[in-house]
Amino acid sequence: EFEAFLEHGSRVMHMSQQITEVVTSVVWPVETNPSAGTVRMRDLDKPWLEDALRETRMENKKDEEVLGEKLVFNLAKQTSKGLKESLGVHCEMTNVANVVRLAIRNENRTAAEIDDMSNGDEVRRAREVLKAVRQFNLR
Protein backbone atom coordinates (compact mmCIF):
# COMPACT_ATOMS: atom_id res chain seq x y z
CA GLU A 1 0.00 0.00 0.00
CA PHE A 2 2.84 2.36 0.77
CA GLU A 3 4.40 1.85 -2.68
CA ALA A 4 1.02 2.53 -4.30
CA PHE A 5 0.79 5.72 -2.27
CA LEU A 6 4.20 6.82 -3.48
CA GLU A 7 3.28 6.13 -7.11
CA HIS A 8 -0.25 7.51 -7.24
CA GLY A 9 -0.66 9.75 -4.21
CA SER A 10 -3.33 9.88 -1.54
CA ARG A 11 -6.14 9.22 -4.05
CA VAL A 12 -5.18 5.50 -4.08
CA MET A 13 -5.33 5.25 -0.33
CA HIS A 14 -8.89 6.52 -0.26
CA MET A 15 -9.88 4.01 -2.93
CA SER A 16 -8.31 1.07 -1.09
CA GLN A 17 -10.07 2.05 2.14
CA GLN A 18 -13.40 2.13 0.32
CA ILE A 19 -12.75 -1.28 -1.20
CA THR A 20 -11.97 -2.91 2.16
CA GLU A 21 -15.12 -1.44 3.63
CA VAL A 22 -17.21 -2.87 0.80
CA VAL A 23 -15.50 -6.29 0.85
CA THR A 24 -15.72 -6.67 4.61
CA SER A 25 -19.18 -7.92 5.43
CA VAL A 26 -18.66 -9.00 9.05
CA VAL A 27 -18.12 -6.25 11.55
CA TRP A 28 -16.59 -7.35 14.82
CA PRO A 29 -17.37 -4.89 17.59
CA VAL A 30 -14.29 -4.11 19.64
CA GLU A 31 -14.71 -2.90 23.17
CA THR A 32 -11.94 -0.35 23.45
CA ASN A 33 -11.82 -0.05 27.22
CA PRO A 34 -13.74 -2.88 28.93
CA SER A 35 -14.64 -2.49 32.57
CA ALA A 36 -12.84 -4.56 35.17
CA GLY A 37 -13.51 -8.27 34.91
CA THR A 38 -15.69 -8.28 31.82
CA VAL A 39 -13.12 -10.00 29.62
CA ARG A 40 -12.41 -12.59 32.33
CA MET A 41 -16.11 -13.29 32.82
CA ARG A 42 -16.58 -13.64 29.08
CA ASP A 43 -13.72 -16.15 28.83
CA LEU A 44 -14.49 -18.26 31.93
CA ASP A 45 -16.52 -20.92 30.14
CA LYS A 46 -14.23 -21.10 27.10
CA PRO A 47 -12.24 -24.30 26.50
CA TRP A 48 -8.84 -22.59 26.53
CA LEU A 49 -9.26 -21.69 30.20
CA GLU A 50 -10.50 -25.08 31.46
CA ASP A 51 -7.03 -26.61 31.87
CA ALA A 52 -5.59 -23.51 33.50
CA LEU A 53 -8.49 -23.27 35.97
CA ARG A 54 -8.27 -26.98 36.80
CA GLU A 55 -4.53 -26.70 37.45
CA THR A 56 -5.07 -23.62 39.60
CA ARG A 57 -7.70 -25.43 41.68
CA MET A 58 -5.40 -28.43 42.19
CA GLU A 59 -2.46 -26.20 43.19
CA ASN A 60 -4.64 -24.22 45.60
CA LYS A 61 -5.91 -27.41 47.22
CA LYS A 62 -2.36 -28.72 47.62
CA ASP A 63 -1.20 -25.38 49.04
CA GLU A 64 -4.07 -25.31 51.55
CA GLU A 65 -3.08 -28.77 52.78
CA VAL A 66 0.55 -27.72 53.15
CA LEU A 67 -0.39 -24.52 54.98
CA GLY A 68 -2.70 -26.48 57.27
CA GLU A 69 0.10 -28.87 58.20
CA LYS A 70 2.49 -25.97 58.79
CA LEU A 71 -0.08 -24.34 61.07
CA VAL A 72 -0.54 -27.56 63.03
CA PHE A 73 3.19 -28.06 63.51
CA ASN A 74 3.87 -24.42 64.39
CA LEU A 75 1.11 -24.46 67.01
CA ALA A 76 2.38 -27.79 68.35
CA LYS A 77 5.98 -26.61 68.52
CA GLN A 78 5.00 -23.40 70.27
CA THR A 79 2.77 -25.27 72.74
CA SER A 80 5.41 -27.90 73.51
CA LYS A 81 8.05 -25.24 74.08
CA GLY A 82 5.70 -23.16 76.24
CA LEU A 83 4.76 -26.11 78.42
CA LYS A 84 8.40 -27.01 78.97
CA GLU A 85 9.57 -23.46 79.74
CA SER A 86 6.66 -22.26 81.87
CA LEU A 87 5.43 -25.42 83.63
CA GLY A 88 8.40 -27.73 83.26
CA VAL A 89 6.21 -30.35 81.55
CA HIS A 90 7.85 -32.26 78.72
CA CYS A 91 5.37 -33.02 75.96
CA GLU A 92 6.44 -34.17 72.51
CA MET A 93 5.60 -31.83 69.68
CA THR A 94 4.21 -34.71 67.59
CA ASN A 95 1.76 -35.69 70.34
CA VAL A 96 0.48 -32.12 70.53
CA ALA A 97 0.31 -32.00 66.71
CA ASN A 98 -1.85 -35.14 66.64
CA VAL A 99 -4.27 -33.64 69.17
CA VAL A 100 -4.43 -30.31 67.30
CA ARG A 101 -4.93 -32.10 63.96
CA LEU A 102 -7.79 -34.18 65.42
CA ALA A 103 -9.45 -31.02 66.75
CA ILE A 104 -9.09 -29.14 63.46
CA ARG A 105 -10.45 -32.11 61.50
CA ASN A 106 -13.58 -32.16 63.69
CA GLU A 107 -13.83 -28.42 64.29
CA ASN A 108 -17.07 -27.86 62.38
CA ARG A 109 -19.02 -30.80 63.81
CA THR A 110 -21.96 -30.23 66.10
CA ALA A 111 -22.19 -31.65 69.63
CA ALA A 112 -24.69 -34.29 68.45
CA GLU A 113 -22.31 -35.45 65.73
CA ILE A 114 -19.45 -35.67 68.23
CA ASP A 115 -21.66 -37.72 70.60
CA ASP A 116 -22.28 -40.24 67.80
CA MET A 117 -18.57 -40.69 67.16
CA SER A 118 -16.69 -43.61 68.74
CA ASN A 119 -13.95 -41.25 70.00
CA GLY A 120 -16.27 -38.39 70.98
CA ASP A 121 -14.63 -37.75 74.36
CA GLU A 122 -11.20 -37.58 72.75
CA VAL A 123 -12.49 -35.11 70.15
CA ARG A 124 -14.02 -32.92 72.88
CA ARG A 125 -10.73 -32.81 74.80
CA ALA A 126 -8.82 -32.10 71.59
CA ARG A 127 -11.14 -29.18 70.83
CA GLU A 128 -10.52 -27.76 74.30
CA VAL A 129 -6.77 -28.09 73.78
CA LEU A 130 -7.05 -26.36 70.38
CA LYS A 131 -9.03 -23.53 71.95
CA ALA A 132 -6.34 -23.04 74.60
CA VAL A 133 -3.54 -23.26 72.04
CA ARG A 134 -5.17 -20.67 69.82
CA GLN A 135 -5.65 -18.27 72.73
CA PHE A 136 -1.92 -18.21 73.31
CA ASN A 137 -0.82 -18.24 69.68
CA LEU A 138 2.13 -15.84 69.58
CA ARG A 139 2.38 -15.62 65.79
Phi first, then psi, for residue 85 (nearest 5°) are -75, -40
**For residue range 94-126, what is the model confidence (pLDDT) as tens digits?**
999 999 999 999 988 999 999 899 999 999 999
Whether pLDDT at 62 is above 90: yes
Q: Which residues contact 37 (CB under 8 A, 6 or more apart)?
A: none
Q: pLDDT band at 139, cuts 50/70/90?
A: low
- Could you tell me if 100 and 130 are in contact, meaning their C-beta atoms sit under 8 angstroms apart? yes
Q: Which residues contact 99 (CB under 8 A, 6 or more apart)?
A: 125, 126, 129, 130
The reported pLDDT for the residue numbered 92 is: 92
For range 5-18, the mean pLDDT: 58
**Per-position b or e across 90-101, b if 16+ CB within 10 A of its CB:** ebebeebbebbb
The reported pLDDT for the residue numbered 125 is: 93
Return the closest-CA partner of residue 119 out of 95, 99, 92, 97.
99
Whether pLDDT at 50 is above 90: no
Whether pLDDT at 26 is above 90: no
More confident residue, 13 or 126: 126
DSSP state of 44: T
